[in-house]
Amino acid sequence: MTSAKTADRAARAERPVFCGIVPPHILSRLAGSDLHVADAARRTLVADVRHRLTRGAVPWVGERHLAPPAGVDHRDDRSVYDDHDTENLPGSEVRAEGAPPTGDRSADEAYDGLGATFDFYLKVYKRWSVDGQGLPLKGTVHYGVQYDNAFWNGSQMVFGDGDGSVFGRFTSSVDVIGHELTHGVTQYTANLVYRGQSGALNESVSDVFGSMVKQYQLGQDAADADWLIGAGLFLPSVQGVALRSMKDPGTAYDDPNIGKDPQPAAMAAYVDTSDDDGGVHINSGIPNRAFYLAATGIGGNSWDGAGLIWYDVLTSPTLPAAATFATFGTATVHAAEKRFGRKSHQAHAVAAAWREVGVSVHT
């Protein structure tokens, strides 16, 4: 890598590292309602703002497509903590690697989800934990009082219990855990700037790999997957199936209390906004649908086709930190051509997927 590129990567090291699964527009809508959970939503927003304003050094590694070194034990290294409804991370350890279940559903779901994500990256992409070097995975459960979110803070996972009316416990969806840990993978690889299109790509990459973690665990191919992010988080009072739909952005929920899913499915409906870091949780629907179209267009297991292509791009040292949809889309086409051949079915499917969502790519 040239010294200029090295300097560019190093210059990114100071970034806000808070990445929550629940979009702020949902929490703002709840906070302004007359529901009894409004206070919980307001407390969540306050905590989230505090985390966003906390800046920390984001580690960067120069060699980014890392395989586990030979002769090293590559087993999971997990630990789960209980915050006892406080906001004092990490809390007290309740389950270490190899220990039996605790009987606390949240703690045991967090433990299993951390392991499922670790196994996916190691077995599918030969990536040894989120940093490629065996980083121990930590998760804290029972964070805050009725905290309506889950997040990656740059070094660990944090899970709220939900408010008990709109949201249930945030450990219940393995794709949510895969999503948040993938923010850690992005942190150690592309380190995409968390604003505008690059921020939406940051969110989309986490949805992509979070969905594949779930598909891999369930043994589903691309055609059989539900392509929903956070299915099961909403409680029965909510008119919605998930936080997001990769297959059909904009249809995940339509509820009088939280509003209608605002995600666009194509560039023609791209949302220009200063909220949510430039709409990172909204406009991610566009690259999400491109991945869905590529994965189903290629067929078979998503992680063997489109997932492999997206992983090649995410771990490429040439991907700019401020990549646009067009930059990222073009990179996936070139990655497909390099891996499968210029005239391959895979390369054609990837290019067609981006064209379908209105993103211009160079082939």
Which DSSP state fits 16?
E
Strand ranges in the chain using DSSP code E only, listed in sequence order = 14-16, 19-20, 55-57, 78-82, 92-96, 137-141, 150-152, 157-159, 228-229, 244-245, 254-255, 259-260
> How far, in Å, CA of 76 to CA of 136, rounded?
8
Q: Give the bridge partners for 272, in sequence order.
A: none
Count the neighbouring beta carbons within 10 Å of the beta carbon of residue 312: 19
What secondary structure, in 3-state letters, does 105-155 show?
HHHHHHHHHHHHHHHHHHHHHCCCCCCCCCCCEEEEECCCCCCCCEEECCC
Residue 213 main-chain phi, psi, to 5 deg: -60, -45
> How far, in Å, CA of 312 to CA of 134, rounded?
20
Residue 296 CA to its chain's centroid (Å): 20
Q: Give the bridge partners for 57, in sequence order.
A: 14
> How far, in Å, CA of 48 to CA of 69, rounded?
37
> How far, in Å, CA of 56 to CA of 93, rounded?
24
Q: What is the CA angle 268-182-180, rounded to 5? A: 90
Helix %, strand %, coil % of the chain (to 5) = 40, 10, 45
The amino acid sitting at 240 is G
The amino acid sitting at 343 is K
Residue 280 main-chain phi, psi, to 5 deg: -65, -35
The amino acid sitting at 363 is T
Catalytic residue ranges: 180, 281
